[in-house]
Amino acid sequence: NAGVMQNPRHLVRRRGQEARLRCSPMKGHSHVYWYRQLPEEGLKFMVYLQKENIIDESGMPKERFSAEFPKEGPSILRIQQVVRGDSAAYFCASSLSRDRGEKLFFGSGTQLSVL
Amino acid sequence: TQLLEQSPQFLSIQEGENLTVYCNSSSVFSSLQWYRQEPGEGPVLLVTVVTGGEVKKLKRLTFQFGDARKDSSLHITAAQTGDTGLYLCAGALGFGNEKLTFGTGTRLTIIP
């Protein structure tokens, strides 16, 4: 049973370009969460999605950032017109349900570097 | 505002010694999780505690959730070099797993 798969592992973009980060949850998991880890800071919640629905996007910047989790295929975190401050590690996690105590599995992350 | 404060931020001890790391907050959490993160990898869940006062053991690791569900501790007995890593606590304010608040972590180094 493969774990949470994120790709690419490393992504380099120039300022103004678009970044697309992909996350395939564990098999059978329909709950996906995106977190961002800035250098020397802790992980910060961005968005929580359940198949085809955004449940909570309170941690996501209002502009340039969007997320989706279509019926088929991976979850996508999209950052338009990237800026240097977007450079960070982006982690995706998935779970079987949203119940308290339900185990959360994290992927290995995508390291985004904006030049 | 950092809701979860972890201490110490860095800890280096000799192999075989015991240690405790702390996770403190002024907020009440419905559950609290401890993770370990290796460089270049995502966090891996160690344990989840949900009841105030709860104690869970995982081999040489003992986790405790404070009675008021505002704080937690991780105690390691007879530390081994394999315990080296970044330890993160994360609290859930709601009833579910979504929107975890992570602490900034304790970077533990075990010296052989």
Please report the DSSP string for B63-74 in residue order: EEE-TTSSEEEE
Question: Where do we find the tokens 């049973």?
Answer: A1
Residues of chain A with Cβ-Cβ distance to B36 below 8 Å are none
**If you average pLDDT over residues A74-87, what whole number do you get?**
97
d(CA A96, CA A33): 12
d(CA A87, CA A105): 23
pLDDT the model gives residue B97 = 65
**If you average pLDDT over residues A101-107, what whole number do you get?**
88
pLDDT the model gives residue B80 = 96
Contact A48 B99 (CB under 8 A): yes
pLDDT the model gives residue B61 = 97
Among B2, B98, B104, the residue with its CB nearest the CB of A56 is B98
Residues of chain B with Cβ-Cβ distance to A99 below 8 Å are 95-97
Is the predicted pLDDT of residue A5 greater than 90, yes or no? yes
For residue range A33-59, what is the model confidence (pLDDT) as tens digits? 999 998 777 899 999 999 889 999 999
d(CA B34, CA B5): 13
d(CA B69, CA B4): 12
CA angle B50, B98, B41 (to 5 degrees): 95
Q: How far does CA A53 lie from the centroid of its chain?
A: 15
pLDDT the model gives residue A103 = 86
pLDDT the model gives residue A102 = 81
Among A4, A45, A107, the residue with its CB nearest the CB of B100 is A45
Which stretches of chain B drop beneath a pLDDT of 50?
none
Which of A29, A41, A43, A110 is best to mutate for the B interface (most B CBs within 10 A)? A43
For residue range B59-69, what is the model confidence (pLDDT) as tens digits? 999 999 999 99
d(CA A101, CA A98): 9
pLDDT the model gives residue A4 = 96
Contact B31 A101 (CB under 8 A): yes
- Beta A43-50 vs A53-56: how paired, if at all? antiparallel
Between A40 and A23, residue with greater pLDDT: A23
Contact residues of B toward A, CB < 8 A: 2, 4, 30-31, 33, 35, 40-45, 48, 50, 88, 90, 92, 95-105
CA distance A32 to chain B (A): 9
pLDDT the model gives residue B2 = 57
